[in-house]
Chain A
Amino acid sequence: MTRTLIILVAAVAVAVAGGPAAADDAPAGAPCARPVDAAVRAALGSSLLPGTPILCGAASAETKNVLAQVAFADGRTATVEVAPNGVVLATSYAHTDLSGSAGKGMAALFWAFALASVAGALFVVTRRNLIAAVMGMVGSFLGIAAIYMMLYAQFLAVVQMLVYAGAIMVLFVFVVMILNRPEDEPVAPSGRAGQALGGLAIVYLIGRLIFLLIDVQPPNPEVAMAAPPAAEHCVEWANKACTRMAAYDWGSVRSVGTDLFGPGLFPFEAISILLLLAVVGAIAIAKPVHVDDDAPARTREEGAA
């Protein structure tokens, strides 16, 4: 356990340290040659952020193309590949800072909490001790709740902690105690071939999805890049006209509630019926077949919120 933790920390450190030193991104430092500069401004001039210089890197050896860094008005930055004669060939958008802050602090926090989630998930999947797995799960949920916070989903973050970590995981702990055998063989000894095949497929999918999803760009940059809008609602009515407006945060309880009991009323009612079904079903299933007066009391699950 300690070992894996050390390894993880080391990996992160290496990645962080190696980042700035990596030569992957074009060392854009110098202003561009005249034809290149003219071509880029001609092609993209209208959307460029005024006042920002266009910086070029060195020409590539085999294609003689130049990579230029441009900044757009909507806040995005891109790398543009330009041919020596000035023809713009390709545009690739850089990753953006979602949090909107200029510092690296939020990014570091993201990585920390992401790491916590993944580590917790790995715990669940690999631990032999069931209680350890449950604890790992809880840790994972903590990380995910923090991620929600970063995404301006405050209410859901709290709900996650209350319901998932607070109720569902407790339920799991109860059942683990009932089983009275907290140890488990981590991997089934039979069917290794199938497991190996599945493992291979999963590893491949992880790699593939990482490379696919990491470059996702929002189609509407203004909405996506800006801080989430605050919604206004009327707090005082007078004669069917609004006299006072108040703004509330996007992602707050009030906004989610407005949506839940407004457009989402039907799902809300439906889910309550579902919960009722679940309660009744759980009791029916878990009930012992023979009612035995001397039997020890069975746990009753506590329904979720």
Chain B
Amino acid sequence: MSDLLWNVGYGHFLVLAAVLFLIGVGGVLIRRNALIILMSVELMLNAANVTLMAFSRMWGDISAHTFALIVIAVAAAEASVGLAIVVAVFRGRRNVEVDRLNTLRH
């Protein structure tokens, strides 16, 4: 037990990433507000980045850092577009609850 606690190895970082990722998934499934859902998606992307960093350290390969940089850039782009959509939707319907955005169904 103390071995697990005081000898922090690669597994710990991977577990951290997995936990963050699954918390993000939970947020996407359970929350109703579109903004929170977008933030949960950002959380998932971050978790992926943590995994990338851990494996990059394991293999000593620097190209993963570049990848992570790209991921951050993509996250930014996606966040901006997503928020623009949220704003547009809000303008029309005065609320951003995703379970109420179902008029296309009927």
Bound together = yes
Q: Which residues in A have their C-beta under 8 angstroms from that of B88?
A: 285-286
Q: Contact: B27 with A97, CB < 8 Å?
A: no
Q: Contact: A259 with B84, CB < 8 Å?
A: no
Question: Closest chain A residue to B85 by CB distance?
Answer: A285
Q: Which residues in B have their C-beta under 8 angstroms from that of A205?
A: 22
Q: Which residues in A have their C-beta under 8 angstroms from that of B63?
A: 259, 263-264
Which residues of A in the span 119-168 have a Cβ within 8 Å of any Cβ on B?
A: 121-122, 124-125, 130, 133-134, 137, 140-141, 144, 147-148, 151-153, 155-156, 159-160, 163-164, 167-168
Q: Which residues in A have their C-beta under 8 angstroms from that of B29?
A: 194-195, 198-199, 202
Q: Give Cα A20 to B2, complex, Å.
A: 5
Q: Which residues in A have their C-beta under 8 angstroms from that of B27?
A: 124-125
Q: Give Cα A125 to B20, complex, Å.
A: 11
Q: Give Cα A124 to B89, complex, Å.
A: 22
Give chain B nearest CB distance to A2 CB in angstroms: 21
A37 at the interface (CB under 8 A from B): no
Q: Contact: A209 with B83, CB < 8 Å?
A: no
Interface size on A, residues (CB 8 A): 108
Chain B: interface size category: 35 or more
Q: Which residues in B have their C-beta under 8 angstroms from that of A96?
A: 7, 9
Q: Which residues of B contact A (CB under 8 A)?
A: 1-16, 18-20, 22-27, 29-33, 35-36, 38-40, 42-43, 46, 49-50, 53-54, 56-60, 62-63, 65-66, 68-70, 72-81, 83-88, 90-91, 95-97, 99
Q: List 20 A-B contacts (CB under 8 A).
A: A18-B1, A20-B1, A95-B9, A98-B9, A99-B8, A106-B8, A125-B27, A125-B36, A140-B20, A140-B46, A144-B50, A151-B56, A175-B35, A178-B87, A179-B35, A187-B30, A198-B30, A213-B18, A286-B88, A288-B91
Assuming A22-B1, A140-B43, A210-B19, what are 9 further A-B pairs, CB within 8 angstroms?
A114-B16, A122-B23, A144-B50, A164-B72, A168-B79, A188-B32, A217-B10, A223-B59, A286-B83
